[in-house]
Amino acid sequence: MRDKSWEKSLYEHQHEMIKRLDVHRQKDRTDHLTKDEIMAVEHTFQLLVASMLDFASYLLKHHYDVIIERREQVLDSLLEHKDVTHEQGEQIRVLVELRQRILFDYLNENFEELSKALSLRRYSLVEVLTQEWTKRLDSL
């Protein structure tokens, strides 16, 4: 059974995370960030991508009755069910890979890669997909 209040809360939370990332993206590149600011941006990015994968799992469960055990399986299932285009799938793959590097390779500096991804505003795809998936669920 769908939980529309959860869907709405997730969307609002994603929107707030995107606004925070936009603030960072628009900052003067000559301003040096503190370690805490870098960690906050990285954490926001990680949460945003995780929320997209969680909503995709939710869509797959409620639209196709497909249960996804691990986030790593989400993209393949989305592509299999044609819930994302090939281009969107590639963008999701880039976001997920960057999230994984930040999450599991935290001893290395990945902030330069994250800054490049943020400058391209790739993360805006999350909000677009959440809106599309919500409409798809509404059409049931």
List the CATH number of the domain containing 92: 1.20.120.580
* Distance between CA atoms of residues 124 and 18, nearest Å: 7
- Of residues 107, 2, 86, 94, the one with CA closest to residue 45: 94
pLDDT digits (tens, 9 = 90+) for 61-82: 999 999 999 998 999 999 999 9
Q: How many domains does the chain have?
A: 1
Look at the block and give the residue holding tokens 């196709």: 64
Residues 85-117: b if buried by 16+ CB within 10 A, e if exposed: eeebeebbeebbebbeebeeeeeeebbeebbeb
pLDDT digits (tens, 9 = 90+) for 80-104: 999 999 999 999 999 999 888 888 8
* Structural domain that includes position 8: 4-138
pLDDT confidence band for 32 (50 / 70 / 90): confident
pLDDT confidence band for 37 (50 / 70 / 90): confident
